[in-house]
């Protein structure tokens, strides 16, 4: 059986943020034919886009899956719904957010799914935890490692602080 490696970003800024993230990780680990291989530290991060909202807890997980990217995305959306995610405002507050960042080194551009995640290289709150668990992973379209993408980031204002949990 062929397995795939998926990097999944997670975040929460409503309710008990740490508990929401932990519950999402438990739900990912419980998916059939999946194994949670690595999880970054939790990071407290400033919101982007709509900045008048609470700070986020963010991180990245590495999941091994026997199923394809579309199957995994459907399961991730179901986990968000089960954990109380209500989509009202783009970049608004949320109880949980799960983003499929990479799926092996595949490039997928289909309705509802773009891999690699189209904005991950612009987001310190994704690159910091991703760099913690996969600094040498090569972005399949940009041709740089995660560590290089982090070094190249020109944000200057994104607050990202590792939490001791």
| Domain span at 84 | 4-162
Integer-rounded Cα radius of gyration of the chain: 15
Structural domains in the chain (count): 1
Q: Specify the CATH number for the domain of residue 128.
A: 3.30.70.560
pTM above threshold 0.85 = yes
Please report the pLDDT score of residue 94 as a whole number.
Answer: 85
Q: Which letter does DSSP use for residue 66 in this model?
A: S
Cite the DSSP H helix spans in the chain. Answer: 17-29, 69-82, 124-133, 146-152
Active-site annotation, residues = 85, 94, 97, 99
pLDDT at 156: 64
pLDDT at 35: 96
Q: What is the pLDDT of residue 5?
A: 98
- Over residues 32-65, the pLDDT tens digits come to 999 999 999 999 998 877 767 889 999 999 999 9
Per-residue pLDDT of the chain (165 residues; tens, 9 = 90+): 799 999 999 999 999 999 999 999 999 999 999 999 999 999 999 887 776 788 999 999 999 999 999 999 999 999 999 998 777 766 668 889 999 999 999 999 999 999 999 999 999 999 999 999 999 999 999 999 999 999 999 876 677 889 865
pLDDT for 38 equals: 97
**pLDDT at position 132, please?**
97
Give the E-state strand segments of the chain in sequence order: 4-12, 34-39, 43-45, 56-65, 97-103, 108-110, 113-115, 160-162
């Amino acid at each position: 059986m062929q397995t795939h490696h998926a990097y999944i970003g997670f975040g929460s800024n409503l309710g008990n943020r740490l508990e929401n993230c932990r519950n999402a990780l438990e739900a990912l680990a419980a998916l059939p034919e999946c194994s949670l291989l690595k999880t970054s530290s939790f990071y407290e991060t400033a919101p982007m886009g709509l900045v008048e909202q609470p700070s986020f807890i963010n991180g990245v997980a590495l999941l091994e899956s026997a199923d394809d990217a579309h199957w995994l995305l459907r399961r991730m959306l179901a986990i968000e719904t089960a954990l109380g995610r209500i989509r009202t405002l783009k970049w608004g507050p949320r109880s949980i957010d799960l983003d499929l960042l990479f799926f092996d080194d595949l490039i997928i551009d289909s309705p509802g799914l773009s891999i690699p995640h189209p904005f991950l290289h612009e987001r310190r709150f994704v690159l910091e935890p991703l760099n913690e668990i996969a600094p040498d992973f090569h972005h399949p379209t940009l041709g740089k490692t995660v560590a290089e993408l982090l070094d190249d980031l020109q944000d200057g204002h994104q607050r990202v602080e590792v939490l001791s949990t």
